[in-house]
Amino acid sequence: MIRARVIATGSYVPEKVLTNFDIEKMVDTSDEWIIERTGINQRRIARDDQAASDLAYEASKSALEYAGLKPKDLDLIIVATVTGDMPLPATACILQHRLGAKKAAAFDVNAACSGFIYGLSIGDKFIRSGSHKRVLVVGTEILSKFTDWADRTTCVLFGDGAGAVILERTEEDRGIIETRIHSDGSMWDLLHTPGGGSKNPPSSETIRKRYHYIKMKGNETFKVAVRMLEDLVIATLKHNKLEPSKLSLLIPHQANRRIIQATAKRLNLPMEKVVMNLDRYGNTSAASIPIALDEAFRAGRIKQDDYILLEAFGGGLTWGSALIKW
Ligand code: ACO
């Protein structure tokens, strides 16, 4: 049986740190409120001259180096992002050029915070079909450039970064066991950026109305996220006849500590088996899972044959999971 195996991981976060205390000086909030309601202490902010493809390039280079591969060894590049370099072309094509991955087809995926799981799912299917052998899947975001720094309900949440994995065809009994992806567009307006697209093309009017910034109805999103993620992780494990106790690690999207704790509780997993880095990076949307995966892997928290569950929830609304036997 053909499967896709993660053979390497990589990540990159910008150097600049923005703490809760820094944000206290910008809007009416407090370090205490942010930590209690989200679990976030600080986040990283990209330089003005950095675009999403620059962060993706660093993460991809790190994964390629780990794998001992050259960019020409890749035959597909999938980039998950909602903060791409520009509306046209795909950030994946800019990354392909930077890397010099001449043989790879490249395209973007837009599924907000679930983007990496969507990308992984697509890459897995390309490999299982036999058409492609090596796929680079990247999540990269510069949310800070689309954050309304005068809106305390969103500006405390987001951060910048990128993470990457390389998938390779294997016939061993390990790799990606199953991915699940879901959407419910009826709630698209819970989390959206109204301006800059064909509905509200950029104009002085859309700028004045601050339409180019991310808007989120946080509390409503929170409630749906908790419910959907609990159902999702249970369904994923049940379908694969895997007891939660057999999981070595849960690597959730890093949106909110309380959402992560609720999912872990539903699985009866001790928090030592849950990877959390949102205290340091905030919510980096599509980048959060591959950054957390890279950190966990390089810290020696993942061993061969371990069962790892990834899960995410985000704008769209979208949500998804990936069960991996490492
Ligand atoms: N500082 C201080 N007070 C604040 C702040 C802040 N930064 N932000 C909001 N408040 C206030 C509100 O105004 C409100 O005050 P009120 O009661 O007087 O009206 C009060 O705090 C409570 O606000 P809620 O929005 O109900 O707070 P909640 O506990 O829901 O926390 C949060 C907000 C952190 C945004 C949470 O709802 C959340 O994490 N939501 C889910 C986010 C998510 O998962 N998004 C999907 C992924 S993101 C993506 O796809 C890009």
Per-residue confidence (pLDDT) for residue 281, from 0 to 100? 98
Q: Whose CA is closest to 132, among 158, 108, 106, 161?
A: 106
State how far the alpha carbon of 187 is from the alpha carbons of 166, 284, 316, in Å.
33, 21, 7
CB 197 within 8 A of CB 26: no
Q: Choose one of 19, 158, 188, 219 to mutate for the ligand 1 pocket test, by most ligand atoms within 8 angstroms of C-beta.
A: 219
Distance of alpha carbon 161 from alpha carbon 116, whole angstroms: 13
Residue 146, ligand 1, Cβ within 6 A: no
Angle at the Cα of 178 from the Cα atoms of 175 and 180, rounded to 5 degrees? 140
Between the CA of 106 and the centroid of ligand 1 the distance, in Å, is: 36
Q: Which amino acid is at 322?
A: A
Residue 225, ligand 1, Cβ within 6 A: yes
Between the CA of 69 and the centroid of ligand 1 the distance, in Å, is: 43
- CB-based contacts of 268: which residues, under 8 Å, 6+ apart? 244, 245
State how far the alpha carbon of 160 is from the alpha carbons of 17, 20, 110, 255, 289, in Å.
10, 15, 16, 13, 13
Residue 29, ligand 1, Cβ within 6 A: yes
Query: pTM of whole model > 0.95?
Result: yes
Residue 215, ligand 1, Cβ within 6 A: no
Residue 315, ligand 1, Cβ within 6 A: yes
Angle between helices 288-298 and 52-67 (to 10 degrees): 30
Q: Which amino acid is at 40?
A: I
Q: Choose one of 146, 153, 215, 284 to mutate for the ligand 1 pocket test, by most ligand atoms within 8 angstroms of C-beta.
A: 153
Per-residue confidence (pLDDT) for residue 320, from 0 to 100? 98
Q: Choose one of 18, 37, 144, 148 to mutate for the ligand 1 pocket test, by most ligand atoms within 8 angstroms of C-beta.
A: 37
The answer for 177, left when phi > 0, alpha when psi is -120 to 50, beta otherwise, is alpha
Shortest-distance atom of ligand 1 to CA 29: 1
Average pLDDT of 117-139?
Answer: 98
Q: For 71-85, what is the HEC assignment?
A: HHHCCEEEEECCCCC
Average pLDDT of 156-185?
Answer: 97
Residue 164, ligand 1, Cβ within 6 A: no
Q: How many CB atoms lie within 10 A of CB 182?
A: 17
Segment holding 59, helix H or strand E: helix 52-67
Angle at the Cα of 276 from the Cα atoms of 237 and 224, rounded to 5 degrees? 60
The answer for 225, left when phi > 0, alpha when psi is -120 to 50, beta otherwise, is alpha
Average model confidence (pLDDT) for the chain? 97
Active site residues: 113, 253, 283
Per-residue confidence (pLDDT) for residue 116, from 0 to 100? 98
Average pLDDT of 75-82?
Answer: 98
Shortest-distance atom of ligand 1 to CA 253: 47
Per-residue confidence (pLDDT) for residue 56, from 0 to 100? 98
Q: Kindly indicate the confidence band of residue 38, based on its pLDDT and cuts at 50, 70 and 90.
A: very high
| Bridge partner residues of 19 (DSSP) | 42
Query: Helix, strand, coil proportions of the chain in percent (round to 5)?
Result: 40, 25, 35
Per-residue confidence (pLDDT) for residue 49, from 0 to 100? 98
Per-residue confidence (pLDDT) for residue 238, from 0 to 100? 96
Average pLDDT of 194-219?
Answer: 96
| Bridge partner residues of 313 (DSSP) | 319
